[in-house]
Amino acid sequence: MGAIAAVYTKTGDPSQVIEDLLLALGHRGTTKSTYLVSESVAIGCSSHSDVAERFLQRPKAALTLDGSFYQRENPVKFANTHLTKGIMRSAASRVMSEPGGFSILVSRETKIFAFRDTNGLKPLYFAANRRLTAFASERKALWSIGLTKTNRVSPGKLYTISRHGINEARLIQFKRPQEKRMTFAQSKTQLVRVLKRSIRRITTRIGRVAVAFSGGLDSALTAALAKTKCEVELVSVGLSGSPELSTVDKYARQLDLPLTTETFELDVLETYVRRVVWLIEEPNLMKVSVAVPLHWAAMLAAKKGFTVMLCGQGSDELYGGYYKYARILDAKGRRALVAELYRSIIEAAEVNYERDEQATAPFGVELRTPFADLDVIKFSLTIPSEYKVKAGNDVTRKWILRAAARDLGVPDDIASRRKKAIQHGTGVENAIRKLAKSRNLTAEAYLTQVHEEVRKQKTMP
């Protein structure tokens, strides 16, 4: 969607610093706008589209955002109504609760305020030295101005920068789960209700969307929900011969939705690995293996003219999709399982959402998921864990979501499919391991080498 940045200087002119920050984020959009709010504060943004939708300035104040409020036609005007006057703490709490994925920077004379949506769907980082404090959508922008020790703007927190330093205030956090006494049928009925409401929110005013489609439960349910609200086209990607591409056509026909696929050959994989490592700013094998096919899917969606792509991200953390949850349940019991599910939800921004957003951002395609809706998360935390994962080496898991999917029109053939992670279904992780082996390296060592090579590049490989 775009990039945002702000800088507070104790000495020197912040104007050139803000230009340098946005230059380093050029892959997120080249149309830009900056504003010198005061002699110590500058703020700016860049975008693939009209920056007027992302930036607003007035005397000695400015506001910029990356992302969107799903139900608001003009996001910057909505944010401005709340954030450029009055008490910032209460205003930020109000905006944080708005359905959407966004990061926001506000300046008032010699202060900067920063926060993100409660799920952390849009990344935002900051760093400081003795001379200045800066915020940017990606760490590479901060590295480019010599700030190597970066920090994440934590979802649910408000950050205030002034001559007194950096202040952090926790405004919103998901409460630890208190499971309700509900029957399976009651849980399913309510889950269907909140999922319908979520898809209505994320597709408001959108005529057509792409859905990143694997043929699995999460993407199929997302597509089935979306097609009741707008025109849907499935997009599927993978390496030649990958398991995912061999089955998606069959499942697309079952959903009665159009499908576009693109196959990538092994000889181009290294090019995309280098690009994705640069984009997500770390050499983690799991993250790179997930980010590469998402990057491909966004590229394909952009070719087809889509500006929004839906995905099923967030489902596994809510309903126990990963096999590790079954292992934890059998080894440590239900209390440990519930604690792990909660931890996974709290850490989803750092583990999943930031990676996914950075992998897709260069194409101007906004990634949205019905499972990151606040009401969906809050309710799902109250569903009894035995409706998610059963004792005794549960290889199916996500029982409650599978039942809800059937009620929402997902064919049983898909609703019953066992999970196959995107990095395996598309063949990417195994191919990276082979690529590393051909260089007599482990996958981890290979990606670390790539990271060292691309980290200082000023433009996307």
pLDDT tens-digit series, residues 446-456:
999 999 999 98
Look at residue 293 in the predicted model and tell me its pLDDT.
95
Q: Residue 461 domain-assigned?
A: no
Looking at the structure, do residues 165 and 189 belong to the same domain, yes or no?
no
Write down the pLDDT at residue 242.
87
Residue 438 is given by DSSP the state T
Report which of 218, 429, 188, 198 is spatially closest to residue 314, judged by C-alpha positions. 218
- pLDDT, tens digit, 9 for 90 and up, residues 34-68: 999 999 999 999 998 888 889 999 898 999 999 99
Q: pLDDT at position 244, please?
A: 82
Which tokens in the block code for residue 15? 């104007």
- Bridging pattern class, strands 308-310 and 366-368: parallel
Report the pLDDT value the prediction gives residue 283, as an integer from 0 to 100: 97
Cβ of 60: how many Cβ atoms within 10 Å?
Answer: 13
Mean pLDDT of 405-419: 94
In the chain, the largest separation of any two C-alpha atoms, in whole Å, equals 64
If asked whether residues 84 and 133 sit together in one domain, one would say yes
Average pLDDT value for residue range 433-445: 96
What is the SS3 string spanning 116-171? ECCCCCCCCEEEECCCEEEEECCHHHHHHCCCCCCEECCCCEEEEEECCEEEEEEC
Residues 328 and 193 in one domain: yes
pLDDT, position 186: 97
Which pLDDT score is estimated for 430?
93
* Same-domain status, 28 and 117: yes
pLDDT, mean of residues 304-320? 97
Asked if 120 and 192 sit in the same domain, the reply is no
Is position 420 within any domain? yes
Do the domain assignments include residue 177? Answer: no
Nearest 5°: the CA angle 110, 114, 118 is 160
pLDDT tens, 156-194?
A: 999 999 988 999 999 998 888 788 889 999 999 999 999
Number of residues that make up the chain: 461
Whether residue 219 lies inside any domain: the answer is yes
Contacts of 374 (CB under 8 A, 6+ apart): 97, 99, 118, 119
- Looking at 107, 136, 170, which one is the last position of a domain? 170
- 196 & 163 share domain: no
In angstroms, the Cα distances linking 243 to 239, 298, 424 are 9, 20, 8
| The pLDDT of residue 419 is above 90 | no
pLDDT of 420 strictly over 80 = no
Is the domain of 124 the same as that of 197? no
* 175 found inside a domain: no
Is the domain of 142 the same as that of 255?
no
- Compute the mean pLDDT over every residue in the chain, rounded to the nearest whole number: 95
DSSP code for 417: P
Q: Is residue 81 part of a domain?
A: yes
Residue partners of 112: CB distance under 8 A and separation at least 6: 6, 8, 41, 43, 105, 106, 133, 135, 159, 160, 161, 162
- On whether the CB atoms of residues 420 and 216 are closer than 8 A, the answer is yes
Q: If pLDDT is split at 50, 70 and 90, which confidence band does 238 have? A: very high
Residue 460, in any domain of the structure:
no
Q: Which two tokens stand for residue 224?
A: 């089935």
pLDDT of 426 above 90: no
- Band the pLDDT of 81: cuts 50, 70, 90: confident
Give the CATH number, domain containing residue 271.
3.40.50.620
Q: Say whether pLDDT at 421 is over 80.
A: no
Ramachandran region of residue 315, left (φ > 0), alpha (ψ -120 to 50) or beta? alpha
At which of 170, 201, 226 does a domain end? 170
Under the phi-then-psi rule, with left for phi > 0, alpha for psi from -120 to 50, and beta for the rest, what region is 111? beta
Judge if 326 and 428 occupy the same domain: yes
Domain extent for 31? 2-170
Q: What CATH number should be reported for the domain holding residue 20?
A: 3.60.20.10
CB atoms within 10 A of CB 231: 12
Helix or strand or coil: residue 234? strand
Residue of 46, 62, 154, 49 whose CA lies nearest to 107: 62
Do 198 and 161 lie in a common domain? Answer: no
- In this prediction, residue 141 has a pLDDT band, given cuts at 50, 70 and 90, of very high
157 Cβ contact partners less than 8 Å away, ≥ 6 residues apart: 115, 168, 169, 170, 171
Q: Is the pLDDT of residue 294 over 90?
A: yes
One domain for residues 218 and 112: no
Q: Phi and psi for 106 in degrees, rounded to 5? A: -130, 135
DSSP state letters, 42-109: EEEEEESS-GGGTEEEETTEEEEEEEEETT-SSHHHHHHHHHSSS-HHHHHHHHHTSSEEEEEEEEET
- Which of 135, 170, 205 terminates a domain? The answer is 170
Do both 365 and 421 map to the same domain? Answer: yes
Q: What is the pLDDT of residue 195?
A: 98
| 245 has pLDDT over 90 | no
In a domain, 450, yes or no: yes
User: Is residue 246 very low, low, confident or very high in pLDDT (cuts 50, 70, 90)?
Assistant: confident
The candidate with the shortest Cα–Cα distance to 57, out of 87, 77, 73, is: 77
Domains held by the chain: number = 2
177: amino acid identity, one letter: P
Q: Assess contact for 213 and 235: CB atoms under 8 A.
A: yes
